[in-house]
A and B are shown apart, each in its own frame.
Chain A
Amino acid sequence: MKNILEINHLSKSYKSIKAIKKLTFSIQEGQAYGLLGPNGSGKTTTLSIISGILKQDSGSFLWFGEEANASQRLRIGSLIETPHFYPYLNLERNLKILCEIKKQSYKDIDRVLKETKLYDRRKSKFRTLSLGMKQRLGIAAALLGDPEILVLDEPTNGLDPEGIAEVRETVLKQVRRGKTLIIASHILSEVEKICSHLAILKQGDLLATGSIKEILSEEEMIEFSSSDNEMLKQKLESSNLIKEIEQTNGLLTAHLEKDVDSGDINNFAFENKITINHLISRKKSLESQFLELVKD
């Protein structure tokens, strides 16, 4: 796998506010990479810097292993924040300008307009579009020329539920075709459905990076009681099956180690001649883990 994007110690401040602090991570070919974080965590700042519209204070980034330059951006389809086009030009002419920039033939315009269900509005002026349509045009523009890489900043902003589902489908289609995707979002479920890899940002700090499975491992937690709770607790504490265990009101609650499930606990109790009479397995939701990660 070759590196598509490498970010090294990237920092940017707006006056006294540090938007991102020494951000370092890299994205490989074919990954669907999510930048996840609450509002103001530095997602858009990061994407703006790698898209050339904002200069970093320090640090560097490499696209395709090279210093950033304008011609690299011809291989990238981007939507940063809200899409901005010429309000007095119709959709077709707006996309013609972008075709010229990206050195693409005008033929591609119809394809992307159909893909985003804007074909019927192709002769409308940009300013007459609704917010959702503008957002869809932004995605259409990003798809122009079938770029190897898509950089999308909250692509479902301002869309209705149907629109969100459609955009997600469009994006997933690109991912399945092997395109590299960099997507920023504060909506966990969106990232979860689309991405394979993740970077979690909070107030400009990188909290975690890696594959979704690594970061948000679906940690298992079990609640159980047995014929001899005290005994079982002691035995489990000296075993290597659990991370922690606590006893409340005759119930034991345990966080399991990786690759350990409730069945293993049951067997362990059986081997120690203790009968478990109640066992409930609880998987922690991604949502609560995410909130835990970004919480102070």
Chain B
Amino acid sequence: MKKLIRIEQIKILNYTPFRILLLLYVVFFTLGIVIYPLIDKEIPIISLSDLFRFPDVWTFLTWITEPYNILLALIVIMMTTNEFSNHTFKTQVIFGLSRKELITQKLILIFLLASFATILIGVTSISLGLIYSYKLTFKIAMENIELMAIYFLSSATYMIFGLFFALIIKNTALSILTFIGLRSFVEPILFLLLRKTEIRWYMPMRATTQLTPLPNLIEIFKDKMNNPEAIEDTAIDILPKGLPLWLNILVVMGYVTVTVYFSYRIMGRKRLT
């Protein structure tokens, strides 16, 4: 295990595109959060900084930063397809890695990146929470902390899907296209077409997105609004009700298990050239 971590470390730390993409991730992440306090003054009645209070900050930040996980998935795709185009999967097998270890290596990379993302959002949430909260008790701050684990799961799941596409497609551009196409075009269209059925919540990308759903903003702003009841009634229809959280987590874990299983299986049979 340690061996695989050290190998992965040498590969990524000296690879400029990796460093640039990771830096971009951090920049987008920060900009995406900083922009809310900046536009706050433009919107009457409600104050967006309310969103940064404990415990709502957890819900809000996990929702707005969720799309950045796509960037992490792209990093995993790039690092995996590179191994094919450089023929280095082959070299590593010749020198004594098992085919299973090739996948384990990439799962370690995914684990590290997901941990990085989770720590980043954890630190940001705690900092913003401390700055914006009026009432601050440990209990309030820690409410919703389980969202960190859920965020880790959603981040890792995206990357595991990315790894899977990279393994079957082998080509960087095509893998990225498939990934983004499925997440941003195919599934959203199917989601609309299937709006009468429950199936739409079970689609892999959708289920993953839904792990950190749009927070109930009405609930958060209720105190500040003149006539909250009127809004709340209509809002119930607008806000889509997904699967219950426990079921959603189970569905995603199911996808993760199947994808990881097939990743190992595909690699076991692949011709490494």
Residues in A lying within 8 Å of B, measured CB to CB: 51-55, 69-71, 73-74, 76, 78, 80, 83-89, 93, 96-98, 100-103, 141
Contacts and interface: CB of A to CB of B under 8 A. Distances in A.
B87 A101 contact: no
Nearest to A75: B96
Interface of B: 3, 6-7, 10-11, 14-16, 86-88, 90-99, 101, 269, 271-273
Contacts of B90: 53, 80, 84
B15 A88 contact: yes
Contacts of A103: 3
Contacts of A101: 3, 7, 92, 95-97
A125 to B, nearest CB: 9
* Chain B interface, DSSP helix/strand/loop, else mixed: helix
A70 B104 CA distance: 14
Nearest to A77: B95
A54 B7 contact: no
Contacts of A52: 93-94, 99
24 contacts: A51-B93, A52-B93, A53-B93, A53-B271, A54-B271, A54-B272, A55-B269, A69-B98, A70-B96, A70-B97, A70-B98, A70-B101, A71-B96, A73-B94, A74-B95, A76-B96, A80-B90, A85-B91, A87-B86, A96-B10, A97-B7, A101-B3, A101-B97, A102-B95
B191 to A, nearest CB: 40
Nearest to A98: B95
A80 B14 CA distance: 26
Contact of A97 (B10, B94, B272, B273): B10
A100 B9 CA distance: 11
Nearest to B15: A88
A97 B93 contact: no
A278 to B, nearest CB: 58
B86 A84 contact: yes
Given A84-B90, A97-B11, A101-B7, A55 B96 contact: no
A55 B99 CA distance: 12
B167 to A, nearest CB: 16
Contacts of A98: 91, 95
A85 to B, nearest CB: 7
Contacts of B93: 51-53, 70, 73
Nearest to B4: A100
A82 B97 CA distance: 19
A97 B96 CA distance: 11
Contact of A89 (B10, B99, B269, B271): B10
- Scoring B95, B99, B101, B269 by chain A CB atoms within 10 A of each residue's CB, the highest score goes to B95
Given A54-B271, A84-B87, A86-B88, A73 B96 contact: yes
B57 to A, nearest CB: 40
A50 B104 CA distance: 23
Which 10 A-B pairs have CB atoms at the shortest separation, nearest pair first? Answer: A84-B87, A70-B98, A73-B96, A74-B96, A53-B272, A101-B95, A78-B94, A84-B91, A51-B94, A100-B7
- Scoring A54, A69, A101 by chain B CB atoms within 10 A of each residue's CB, the highest score goes to A101
A84 B84 CA distance: 11
B83 to A, nearest CB: 9
Contacts of B14: 88-89, 93
A71 B93 CA distance: 10
